[in-house]
Amino acid sequence: MKVLASSVIRSTHRGDSHGGLYIVDTDNQTYEQVLDWDYEGIRWEGGGGDRGLRGLIFHNNLLYAAGSNEIFVFNKDFQLIDQYTHPLLDGTHELTIDNDVIYNISNCYDSILAFDIKSREWIWGVQHIKHRMPQCFDIRGTNLQRADTLHLDSISVKNGWLYYAGSTTEHLYGIHPVTNITMEPTLLYHKNTHNAQFWKDGIVFNRSLESDTCYQVGNELIQHWPTPLCDRSLLTNAGLTADHARAEYTRGMVLGENSICVGSSPACVHEFVLGRKEPISTTRLTYDIRNSICGMTRYPW
């Protein structure tokens, strides 16, 4: 499998690299950095702050990449050619796309915002505060309660339904963005998930803090893939006391027909298959503990 991975680098200063984009060939266990992200418009508060890029989507020979509060558009040479934002877009993670519409997480508002690529307009939004029902809202307004109760980090589309989950919930939720009908939530085998989505006969998800990836069918855990440990003696910038990524923190996912790629920290991409606990390949990008994989997508070019 060949994937494009984004990374976030913590403990950086203005003018430093905040992360990058990497083409990773899992068959050959090689990589190429195609973008060194040193965007001048970032904000500096918070752990990861605005640093790095997050969710990634390829569409019509363009790459759409989520920043903290913008969607950036790159051409085939990975040159920034456009960008879009909205007053309610803040704290992005993953992106997904369906029928020329990008669905973008805004976890600082417990929300998902929809952006129509053809019209270049924001067309729909839903807010889901923990212990409440999801509520669709007028995307043209900005009067929305600021909240981060679910810490949304998973979003996908299947058969016209939008599915999402967060690291502080134990459910995968579903809503139809045309009819606004909600689906009975699916109970996840574990809490604290990332990248929860349907795969084969069940649901696959990362557990970032527990450093593993799980595949469940119904209420049964079918496969458990521990994230391989990195050699602590090789870590760089390990002396930082704060604002650095956690080793083996597991985030980012690309689904193949028979395999799954996931990312970890320091930036590394692992490919797993059913029936085998160890990865069939591991591609190490760096031993810098500040540098963590964030988003991934299959590379089409």
Which tokens is 208 given?
Answer: 């970032």
The domain at 2-196+287-298 falls in which architecture? Answer: Beta Barrel (2.40)
Strands 212-217 and 80-84: unpaired
Residue type for position 287:
Y
Which tokens is 291 given?
Answer: 């540098």
With a CB cutoff of 8 Å and minimum separation 6, the contacts of 243 are: 10, 11, 47
Which sequence spans correspond to the domains of the chain? 2-196+287-298
CA atoms lying within 13 Å on the CB side of residue 195 = 29
Tens of pLDDT, residue by residue, the chain (301 residues):
999 999 988 776 666 777 899 999 999 999 999 999 876 665 545 444 556 799 999 999 999 999 989 999 999 999 999 999 999 999 998 999 999 999 999 999 999 999 999 999 999 999 999 999 999 999 988 889 999 999 999 999 999 999 999 999 999 999 999 999 999 999 999 888 999 999 999 999 999 999 999 999 999 999 999 999 999 999 998 887 666 678 999 999 999 999 999 999 999 999 999 999 999 999 999 999 989 999 999 999 9
Q: What would the DSSP string read from start to end of 139-193?
A: TT------B-SS-EEEEEEETTEEEEEETT-SEEEEE-TTT--EEEEEEPSSSS-
Q: Coil, strand, or helix at residue 33?
A: strand
